[in-house]
Structure 1
Amino acid sequence: MKRSILFDTETTGLDPANGDRVIEIAALELIDDLPTGQHYHVLIHPDRDIPEEASRVHGFTLADLEGKPRFHEVAASFLDFIGQDDMIAHNARFDFGFLNAELQRAGLPVLALERMVDTLDIARERFPGLPNSLDALCRRFSIDLSARTTHNALLDCRLLADVYLELRGGRQRGLGLTVEDGGAVQATYSYAGAAARMPRPIVPSETELAAHARFLEKIKDPIWLA
């Protein structure tokens, strides 16, 4: 089984080189691309102001973060959660840049870029020339966006987990084996999305049925009428 970490950050701005800091980290554990339910989430005091334009994006003001830990106080628990596994994010270079700036500031080793999996790169390759923001991808894959009023990192991770699964090919049919009475082995198939996705039966109209019947009349001994 392959473990990976899907994560997101919220920040005070766009550039750590200009003194912008991380204020929220959220991460989900995936096993074989599916969330396990294990997650990491923390709010962080940035030791600086939060510009109004940043607050409009994620909804946090400095007052919301009073009493929250500083990054160096949570770095060990974050690094323990992510381990050495691949790290998935949307526009991952942005998040890696901020986390590595915070790790450097704390005197800790930075995250190797070889661990980075960028869903934005995957989406651009799959849908060239189309909008590939998280919102756009959610709409494309019919993923519910109703709760996303601001850029909340934990919610964004949960949305991105659904998007990532779709970008990887969607939920796949699984093969299982069951033993019937008498010892016979029966192969069974399950579908991970079956509970959420209702079947859509195709029912031909009377006109279509009549057209099909006329077509069969032109075929010698059609097997469909056997």
Structure 2
Amino acid sequence: MNILRFAGFALVGLLLLAPAAAQAQSAPAHELGAVIDTRHSHARGPEVLAVTPGGAAQAMGLLPGDRVQSINGISLRDEGNLAARLDHALGVQGQTVRLDVLRDGEPLSFSGMLQPAAREPSRGCGYVSDRDPTPVVSDDIHAAEITSIDGDSTPLDPQNRHRLPAGEHVLVVSEKIGLQYFTRGQLRQRNLMQRRTLARAYKAIVVTVEPNMRYSIGAKLDRNAMDNDAMRANAYWEPVVFKERAQECR
């Protein structure tokens, strides 16, 4: 699914990878389960922003921050119209896929099978929100920001809620944990990690949206994973749904 949206004055282009989506009128038969940044061509290839937990990309070993250099032998380095090329590359060998990537400068190859795309008919709608009050003290749940939904960048202006059709959705989330919850040394490691890892500082969560339900998204701080190694590995938090409640959606 090739998605372009105006966000303020910036045109944001992200791709939730599913083969032949741009050419097909109906939903694709198979999907990779990875969110790829198609905004800019790059000599090292486009960057993986997120992978769907349990999806084909995760099973093959693809990680956020990887640079995809080629898919099924088709180069994605310094090429125009990345979204169309990605769709074409995924579609040339049917359900099988081979990816050549760079991870921290090291070339790696992955291969596997794409997964059947979910084709459930729409059963209504629900909401996700990162603006709901979070029970910080009681459960170590802190503020978070939903940066994209199913590969579509969220608006730059804060939204009270995001309306979604019922079904599974991939949310890419960044943590907004207050500075007071870290020591000076932990803050230093956190800042270094965020500058170094960029996309890998964000994490993906799959939310199954039921009709007429609202899901509150937060960042859960793991106080047992705040040593230097854990901070550098971005292991000190996870995105969570900390509250579900009924809300009519039309």
Q: Specify the TM-score bucket, using the shorter chain as the normaliser.
A: under 0.3
More helix by share: 1
TM-score by length of 2: 0.25
- Largest Rg, 1 or 2: 1
More strand by share: 2
TM-score by length of 1: 0.27
